[in-house]
Amino acid sequence: MRMLLVEDDPVLGQAVRDQSAADGHSVDWVKGVGDAQAAILSAPFELVLLDLMLPDGRGLDFLKARRAAGDVTPVIVLTARDQISDRIAALDAGADDYLVKPFDLFELSARIRAVGRRYAGNPNPLVVVADLEIDLAARSIRRAGRAVQLTRREWSLFEAFVQRPSQLMSKPQLEERLYSFDAEVESNTIEVYIGRLRRKLGAHIIETVRGMGYRLGAPEAHV
């Protein structure tokens, strides 16, 4: 998924971005409230990782403003503030989860996956699509009982379809999921990855809707 990281600590920010990228996510990293406001208005994000204490303002005020504007993008708060009152304030302001620094990066990865599943309408990490058995938590796929290996970007792209089994996704939407602001995207990148997924998972697993985009092609998808 494409995420916005709002964190002013350079060491922690780099560690979170590297871990999230290794998990297959595209991460745009900003270090203040002003840049966060500009970023979230210029691109669609599927998750925000938000520090509460920032150089130019409070992350809590940013969160409240986004919720007041009708923004339902899930938010995980990352903060050194560990008082119960701080947790309550953030959750009541619209945060979906709250993680106190210092935290384990693998725990953050698990929380990102859990929040992503809930917002996709499927909290169950185990999904069956045609002859594919998919474990969204373990990031693994078995086809007709045999393990299938996907690269990081292949997985990120396929996960987008699995989480939205009936939704038509345009090429720009898929590009935004895979790449951050500063990444260069070749014109045929999505077609290349779609081709790789079809070779590994089945020719009909992703359907092309000419002139509009792509969607999960298997007729049945259930948990």
CATH 1.10.10.10 in the chain is located at: 126-222
Encode 120-136: b = buried (16+ Cβ within 10 Å), e = exposed: bebeeeebebbebbbeb
Measure the CA–CA gap between 115 and 141, rounded to whole angstroms.
Answer: 21
Which ranges in the chain are annotated with CATH 3.40.50.2300? 2-119
Task: Report the chain's C-alpha Rg in angstroms.
Answer: 18
pLDDT in tens, 99-139: 999 999 999 999 998 898 887 766 667 888 888 999 887 88
**Residue in 53, 34, 31, 52 with CA at minimum distance from that of residue 42:** 34
How confident is the model over 26-48, as pLDDT tens digits? Answer: 899 999 999 999 999 988 898 99
Contacts for 158-162: CB closer than 8 Å, 24+ residues apart:
158/197, 158/201, 159/1, 159/24, 160/1, 161/206, 161/214, 161/215, 161/216, 162/127, 162/129, 162/134, 162/136, 162/216, 162/221
- The encoded tokens of residue 63 equal 């969160």
Q: What is the rounded CA–CA span in Å between residue 151 and residue 23?
A: 10
Per-residue pLDDT reduced to its tens digit, 148-171? 999 988 998 898 888 888 789 898
**Among 24, 21, 115, which Cα is nearest to 72's?**
115
Half-sphere exposure of 67 (CA within 13 A, CB side): 16
Supply the pLDDT for residue 149: 94
Task: Give the 3-state secondary structure of 27-85.
Answer: EEEECCHHHHHHHHHHCCCCEEEECCEECCEEHHHHHHHHHHCCCCCCEEEEECCCCHH
2-119, CATH topology level:
Rossmann fold (3.40.50)
pLDDT of the residue at 105? 96
Smallest CA-to-CA distance from 45 within 173, 163, 154, 136 is with 173
Q: pLDDT value at position 223?
A: 39
Q: What is the mean pLDDT of the chain?
A: 88
- For residues 74 and 115, is the Cβ–Cβ distance under 8 A? yes
**CATH annotation of 126-222:** 1.10.10.10
The pTM of this model reads: 0.69
For 3-16, what is each residue's pLDDT tens digit?
999 999 999 999 99
